[in-house]
Each structure stands twice: as structure tokens, then as C-alpha cells.
Amino acid sequence: MPSAKSTKPSSAKPASAKQGEPISRGAGARQRVLRAALEVLDEHGLPGFTMEAVARRANAGKATLYRHWDSAGALLIDAMDATFQPFPVPDTGQVETDLAHLLTAFVRLLEETPFPRLLAAFVDAAERDPALAALHADLTERRREPVLVVLDRARERGQLPDHLDAELVTDLLTSPFFYRRFVAHRPIPDGMVDDVIAHVLGTRISAGRRKSS
């Protein structure tokens, strides 16, 4: 990560700075490399994803890229992370509503961003490269966090039973969307988020409500 920050916001840079602008200029330059990385991945897939190709696309030196990322794999992970804006954790007091917020944002990510292509490339690459698999496992861990927080708060409010297996419930809530998109190649219908939540929390919520009433 670049430590020296430009005092100018990147939008105020003169047009000529786009050519050969040193990456150490700050967050704007970092974003530029990450954007270039996504473009290279999108066009050429993982086999064409090299430091050289990204440097060329970003108008940056290869050596400069290496100063910020150890390997093409590390750069890839950062680029992938950048497509996945961290979801704010909703806290409406209703577990179904909170989960609907999170899952709707996730479906939008699957349908409207370069994220699914990146993920698909990762799924394949991780089969051949345990280091990439480990990095991807870490990313997935981070992304499960908001769902786990929502489930945890619901337990504290008595909306879900204490013995709920939150990890399993998180699998059940999120995996059908991955599966539809990447395995079954089926559209994700409008009501699916609500249906999945209702089905997965069905018993547990009634159990919780019985307990608290």
C-alpha cells in the first residue's frame, strides 16, 4: 500500500499526469492499478493476468507494481476485494429485514459488477493453487462477517434461539445465490432473497418468538 499521499485529490490532477504517473502518488494511483487489474482479468482471464499486463494497462512500471504487491496473486486479491464494497451492517431490529438488505446487495453484486467473473476465475485457479485458495478463503470469511453479526444481534434480542448454528445458517442463506449464478446458470428471481430467508429462518424464528412471548 502506498504510504506517501498526494496533497491533491486525484480528480484535480492535470490530464498529462495520466501518462506514466508514479503509483506512489496515493490512493488515486492505487485505484488506477486496481481498475487496470480488473480490466486485464476481464479481458484475458486468469492466464493473461500478469504484473506486466497490468503495468502496461495502468501506464505504470512493472517494478513499481512489485514495490506494492509481492505477486500477481496479491494484486489479484486486492483488485477482487475492491469490487466488493464492504456492506454496512444493517441494524433495523428485524433479522429478516437486516438479512434482506445484505442479500439484496449481494445479488446486485452478482448481477451488476465484474465480481462474478473474478470469482469464476478464482474458483478455477484455486483448484490448482493452494495459496490462491487460502487467500480466497480469507476474503470469503470477511464477507460472511456482516451476516454473522446480524444473526448474533438477533440471538441477543431473542429472535433466534441461542443454539442456532450461525455458520450453517450463513451457508444456507448465501450459497443458493452462488449456486444459481455459477453452477445452475439460472436467473435469480425477484422474490428469491425473501424466500430463502423465510425458508432458512422459518422454524428458528417461530421457536425464538415462542420462547420470548
Binding site for a copy of itself (CB under 8 A): 45-47, 116-117, 119-121, 123-124, 126-128, 133-134, 136-137, 140-141, 144, 165, 168-169, 171-172, 174-176, 178-180, 182-186, 192, 195-196, 199-200, 202-203, 206
When the beta carbons of 65 and 196 are compared against a copy of itself, the nearer one is: 196
Cβ at position 109, least distance to a copy of itself in Å: 13
When the beta carbons of 92 and 206 are compared against a copy of itself, the nearer one is: 206
CB of 90 within 8 A of CB of 101?
yes
Cβ at position 204, least distance to a copy of itself in Å: 8
Cβ at position 136, least distance to a copy of itself in Å: 6
When the beta carbons of 43 and 52 are compared against a copy of itself, the nearer one is: 43
When the beta carbons of 105 and 123 are compared against a copy of itself, the nearer one is: 123
When the beta carbons of 73 and 116 are compared against a copy of itself, the nearer one is: 116
Q: Give first-to-last CA distance, the chain, whole Å.
A: 52
When the beta carbons of 13 and 117 are compared against a copy of itself, the nearer one is: 117
Cβ at position 172, least distance to a copy of itself in Å: 6
Task: Using alpha carbons only, give the angle 145, 151, 155 rounded to the nearest 5 degrees.
Answer: 140
CB of 115 within 8 A of CB of 177?
no
DSSP per-residue codes, the chain: ---SPPSS-GGGS-GGGGSS--GGG-HHHHHHHHHHHHHHHHHHTGGG--HHHHHHHHT--HHHHHHH-SSHHHHHHHHHHHHSPPPP----S-HHHHHHHHHHHHHHHHHHSSHHHHHHHHHHHHHH-HHHHHHHHHHHHHHHHHHHHHHHHHHHTTSS-TT--HHHHHHHHHHHHHIIIIII-----TTHHHHHHHHHHHHHHHHHHHHH-
Cβ at position 160, least distance to a copy of itself in Å: 13
Cβ at position 152, least distance to a copy of itself in Å: 18
